[in-house]
Structure 1
């Protein structure tokens, strides 16, 4: 499979790293066109993908991703569609701000196009990606889109009206967890633990707790109850969190993004 991607910023570079790390896509088979910041050129020195300076190269790919800022998705798509000149190559936008319908106004509603929202763990093939497929997409093109994204982690099909909340939860959530882990480590350091050890323990605890939830399929409240002994240390810590509005702050973070 040959993959073309416009953009090598945070998300574009994470996807490129994930494809290469999967072992299924050879670095030269990833064609990358970066922007003015030069991040693609710098990244290419480490990852050895094919750096492209023109759209003609993308005519030889099997699938194309648009990992650029929302304001330039449609202009790039317009130029790309013109360059393809009737050649049908599936295109996936990974911008939350441009709908499938808006892209189809350029390509027509029969062209294989989709909108996907990955998160940064795709770089280690443990991402969570949501995708909106158009109604009339052929099985062949859908399978190609699915295969390319499943190399990066779990892929779930969602409806267009849910892509906003999916992007907020899956896309912004890692940053919230990072802040949480940093805070946990700070608390441990405050009480004498080495900084590196504190980060390691916090990250492993979060990872294993998440895996327990996924594998046991238990309600998170039930898992929490399994740790909180009557009058014990854990319930005292939870009480302190509740006193500071931990749950409300988390819910409000999601809600604030959705209302912004």
Structure 2
């Protein structure tokens, strides 16, 4: 398999980190508009090569090309890929660009919108994918992306809000874990252990919901005994409009 990645910023690096856990470096063809000191260091640390010539990616005849370039320049960069093989699947992680806009530049090219999040770096990402009409079988795309985490096929209409929840959500969870850590430290736990405990708890709670398919409110009810400490904490969260704050955060990010 050959995979091209265009744009090696934070998300591009997260995807590369995840793929290097399951693929050989020579299977990746990486392109960035310039090579600065930070990029040179990244290449040396990961023992990879980054080129500045997108034609090198095209010439490699990759199975997939992932665009993680900034949205304002992505369509212009795609203009350089008009000679790309008709069998190569374009995966665009550029926010706000539609399938129609991409296919206006690359007619009849198989294209999917891609919404990864930063945990792809450790192969535990959540990836949303919206397919265009030229992709009739999603299995090869799902199989490839499952190296990076859980893959969800959405409609293009659902893609934006899905991306807000999964793309912005890690930051919301990080704020929550930081607050749990502060509370634990305030009550006598050392900070390193507080953060480790918070992360383990979030991971376990998420795994339980995912593996049992039990709704989160039901899981919450299972651990809130009458008059117990947990329900007192839940009530305190509600008194501070915790749910409303989360909903407002999603609305603000989605706007």
TM-score by length of 2: 0.93
Correspondence for 2:69: 68
Following superposition, the deviation at residue 146 of structure 1 comes to 2.8
Kindly tell me: are residues 146 and 213 of structure 1, through their superposed partners in 2, closer, same or farther at Cα, counting changes over 3 Å? Answer: closer
Contact kept? 2:65, 2:91, Cα under 8 Å:
yes
- Between stretches 170-179 and 44-53, larger displacement belongs to 44-53
- Contact 2:99–2:132 under 8 Å retained in 1: yes
Cα shift readout 1:28-82 (whole Å, capped 9, x = no counterpart): 2211112447343332111122311212211202321110110011000002225
Question: Which residue is 2:103 aligned to?
Answer: 104
What's the TM-score, normalizing by structure 1?
A: 0.92
Instruction: Give the equivalent residue in structure 1 for 2:116.
Output: 118
Partner of 1:34 in structure 2? 32
In 2, are the aligned partners of 1:15 and 1:152 still within 8 Å (CA)? yes
CA separation in 2, counterparts of 1:220 and 1:143? Answer: 29
Secondary structure of residue in 1 paired with 2:101 = helix
Return 176-185 or 95-104, whichever deviates more.
Answer: 95-104
- Residue number in structure 1 paired with 2:4: 4
CA drift of 1:132 comes to: 1.0
Unaligned runs of 5+ in 2: none
Offset, 1:87: 5.9
CA distance in 1, matches of 2:158, 2:42: 33
Secondary structure of the 2:55 match is helix
Runs of 5+ consecutive residues of structure 1 not aligned to the other structure: none
1:56 aligns with 2:55: yes
Q: Partners of 2:211 and 2:175 in 1: how far apart?
A: 25
Tell me by how many angstroms 1:241 deviates: 0.8
Contact 1:132 1:158 (8 Å CA) reproduced: yes
Distance 1:40 1:88, change over 3 A: farther
- Deviates further, 225-234 or 99-108: 225-234
State the alpha-carbon separation in 1 of the partners of residues 228 and 110 from structure 2. 57
How many pairs are equivalent? 252
The C-alpha deviation readout for 1:80-102, integer Å capped at 9, x for no partner, is 225x4x66522111112111110
